[in-house]
Structure 1
Amino acid sequence: MRLIQIISMALAVLAGQSLADDLPTIRAAVLKIGTVNWELATITDNGLDRANGFTLDVQPYADNSATRIAVEGGEADMAVADWIWVARQRAAGKDYVFIPYSKAVGGVVVPEGSPAETLADLAGGKIGIAGGPLDKSWLILRAYAQQQYGMDLKAETEQVYGAPPLIFKSAMGSEYAGAINFWHFLAKNKAAGMRQLISVEEAGAALGLDTNTPLLGYYMKESFLADHPALAQRFFDASRAAKDRLASSDDAWAAIRPRMNAATDAQFEQLKSDWIAGIPDRAPVDEAATGKMLSLMSDLGGPELVGEATSLPAGLFADVK
């Protein structure tokens, strides 16, 4: 009887392994230190990929350019970008489709004790900007300042461009009247006592943009998805299951804290809070709203930003719900 039990268990393990081997694999090219790893680790560590009919293979890269080259060259099946970049690629003929991930965006922080109350109060000062002159947060804030205060934010301030870590450190040293950075660097600035003057979300709302639009997402090739029917929805379901865990479980955050590069408890709590705030509603992307935002980006950034995507390319957003 004991031998029969052992044989049965071995067969069950082999059957399970065979089933797993039959699952399609999604090779995800990600920035090694990117915050998307928090969600992807939650997926793999909790078996949410296999539970949804695929296996996730996370491949770390040194920079975002490398992740994009990996997808384009067929070394990976998926990477992360904002939908405006994906729209530009699709308009140029690439068969990329976008799956929503996050609506987390940056904003402007000012030093602790700064008297500034609005963007207008930054006139004459330096603004540190991560991402360069075509950074989408910077462009939206420029449009907001023009609408609200009749202010040309570019002309009335001095811009200092730099890599996100450099802008973060310089802002902590009070070198700028204000700083614009990616959301997770701003979270650390706020944890250290800096004050958010205005978020891009607030500015976008004032401009009539849909603030629930997920700016960031995963993108895959249509050709890859055509070979794996329903895989986009399966991945999206796993992504949403991970979000649900992180939105409701302290244990889920404790599990990924070693990945978060949070030097203090204050940083950890701010990163956690801001990440959860970036979870978009589970709903199809509003194409009318994204078309309006693309039009604004085209007006402000021109072809250098949007390329040939002067209107929303058909089929940009994956059919997930």
Structure 2
Amino acid sequence: MNRDHVDAQQAAFDAHHDDPGDLPVMRARFEYNGSPRFLLYAIKRLDLDHRHGFHLDVQLVTDELESGMETIRHRLDEGDTDLVDTDYISVARERAAGANIVAFHPYGRTVGGLVAPEDTAIEGLADLSGHRLGVTRRLDKNWILTRAACRKFHDFDPAETATLVEADSRDDLTRLIRGGEVDAGFQFWPLVPELTETGRFVEVLPVSDLVQRLAGTDDKLPIATFVTGDSYLDAHPEAVRGFAAAAQDAVDHLLTRDDIWDDISRRLLPDATVASAVTTGWREMVVTEWGAETIAGMRRLFDHLHAVAGADALGVETIPDGTFWLDP
């Protein structure tokens, strides 16, 4: 982690942290190398939070500190944070364990890709056995989806036939991949270009393809969601609705305008040479809306993962009532 780069990104947000006045404040805590920061920056830069009746306060954190769902749960439950993002399976897992958190808006198909050296012998799912595979942590959604796909399409479980190496953070995973300490690694999608654009590495398996194959639908299903605490939702439902509206406006802008991506490249990306790949990837990843049918598809995907990977891999037996809030 380059601390100067993190501070520079935070300064870009702070330049738009004007006086909230009488508006309800929504405190957002997001990883400095996660892609939601692009959307949050667009909201702040375009003043969409104030236009929709709330004040968004964004603080960037390191994934080493924020990688555990326990930390997220405690921050939301105890009132230290009002907004985070995570995959909906993690929301279901933590809600089943008693966390008072709720997913209220889709973010996108935030899965990653399996990255390997350009001379790798790994070409797809069938080639994973016998290799050292890097992940951020064992419950990483990329790993769960890959296990499920291998079991369904190739009748083996890589948890039994490959060696899993947990890196604990995305930065450490990149280090393991670059250092050859793993044969391949499941890296988060915004960080894939930092490896593949050098020409030394290739993405051999986009996990988004597995999402669609397992879901059996052409609809783009969100994996990541924006999450708040039940207590914040009860106290400030209009702010939550305001964020959903602001996020939709920001997505519309980011899908159709290149000028804001030029600004994002200058202020939020450590390497401008990957800006084009990041822009394209973000536009393909983001999900613009959801409804009852989308939630039904997400539940079908969960049921399929549960059937082939089991509750031990998912960390939860079923999606509890109240996991999703579609009121906006």
Query: Partner of 2:319 in structure 1?
Result: 312
Could you tell me how far apart the structure 1 residues matched to 2:311 and 2:296 are? 20
Give 3-state SS (helix, strand or coil) of 1:128's partner: strand
Give 3-state SS (helix, strand or coil) of 1:179's partner: strand
Could you tell me how far apart the structure 2 residues matched to 1:137 and 1:115 are? 20
Residue 236 (structure 1) shift: 0.8
Residue 43 (structure 1) shift: 0.6
Matched, 1:53 2:53: yes
Residue pairs, 1:1-321, within 5 angstroms? 21-62=21-62, 63-64=65-66, 65=68, 66-98=71-103, 99-130=105-136, 132-162=137-167, 163-193=169-199, 194-208=201-215, 212-265=220-273, 267-284=274-291, 286-299=294-307, 300=309, 302=311, 305-307=314-316, 310-320=317-327
Could you tell me how far apart the structure 2 residues matched to 1:259 and 1:95 are? 35
Letter in 1 for 2:130: G
Cα distance, 1:74–1:209 mapped onto 2, change above 3 Å? farther
**Structure number with bigger Rg:** 1
Residue 279 (structure 1) shift: 0.8
User: Which sections of structure 1, spanning at least 5 residues, go unmatched?
Assistant: 1-18
- RMSD of aligned C-alpha atoms? 2.5
User: Which sections of structure 2, spanning at least 5 residues, go unmatched?
Assistant: 1-18
Give 3-state SS (helix, strand or coil) of 1:202's partner: helix
Residue 298 (structure 1) shift: 4.0
Residue 47 (structure 1) shift: 0.4
Contact 1:29 1:71 in 2 (8 A): no
Identity of aligned residues (%): 27
TM-score norm. by structure 1 comes to 0.83
Could you tell me how far apart the structure 1 residues matched to 2:268 and 2:22 are? 33
Query: How many residue pairs were aligned?
Result: 299
Contact 2:29 2:81 in 1 (8 A): yes
Give 3-state SS (helix, strand or coil) of 2:145's partner: helix
Cα distance, 1:77–1:198 mapped onto 2, change above 3 Å? same
Residue 292 (structure 1) shift: 2.5
Give 3-state SS (helix, strand or coil) of 2:146's partner: helix
Residue 226 (structure 1) shift: 2.6
Give 3-state SS (helix, strand or coil) of 1:213's partner: coil
Give 3-state SS (helix, strand or coil) of 1:317's partner: coil
Letter in 2 for 1:75: D
Contact 1:260 1:268 in 2 (8 A): no
Contact 2:107 2:288 in 1 (8 A): no
Give 3-state SS (helix, strand or coil) of 2:289's partner: coil
